[in-house]
Amino acid sequence: MRFLAYTGTLDFDDGVDPAMLAAHLTECLRAAGACSVRAGPGIVGFSGGFYRVLPWHMLVPFERGEVIVDESTHEVRYRLSVAHVAIAITLMMAWMGVTAWQPMKHSLILLFIVPIGWLWLFVPNVLFGARRFEEFLRRAIDSAPAKT
């Protein structure tokens, strides 16, 4: 489900050693509590999510992610999967809609409450989590080994 992903790009300066950056990001993600961290040449994959990290952790909204170091453009691109958050909130709002249907079946307000509630729960979770992840990634890039 690529459409349920949050993506972004960060630049790194010429002083950072691109060959060491992926390994450094791997260690930073492990230290931050990411699970199943796996690294390849210029790419780091990891798991986060509800059951894999502590509550209020920056990786809770993200089921998994990948960070790609592009040496030619001096960019770090990331893609974070938000599928499990979307599914969990959809199930929660569906349950709320079903339980509220009987007492409110003659009112159209339920047609507005459920989608607004879904957006109210989904958007802040993803945006705040993505902002925290990007801040983490920026700190990790800034602390990366310099070229020798």
Tens-place pLDDT, residues 47-56: 875 554 455 6
- Which domains can be identified in the chain, with CATH numbers? 5-142 (3.30.310)
pLDDT band at 2 (very low <50, low <70, confident <90, very high): low
Q: Rounded to whole angstroms, what are the CA distances from 137 to 1, 90, 140? A: 23, 29, 5
SS (H, E, C) 34-88: CEEEEEECCEEEEECCCCCCCCCCCCCCCCEEEEEEECCCCEEEEEEECHHHHHH
3-state SS assignment for residue 5 = strand
**Per-residue pLDDT tens digits for 65-74:** 999 999 889 9
Q: Which residues is 43 bridged to in the sheet? A: 40, 68
pTM for the structure as a whole: 0.84
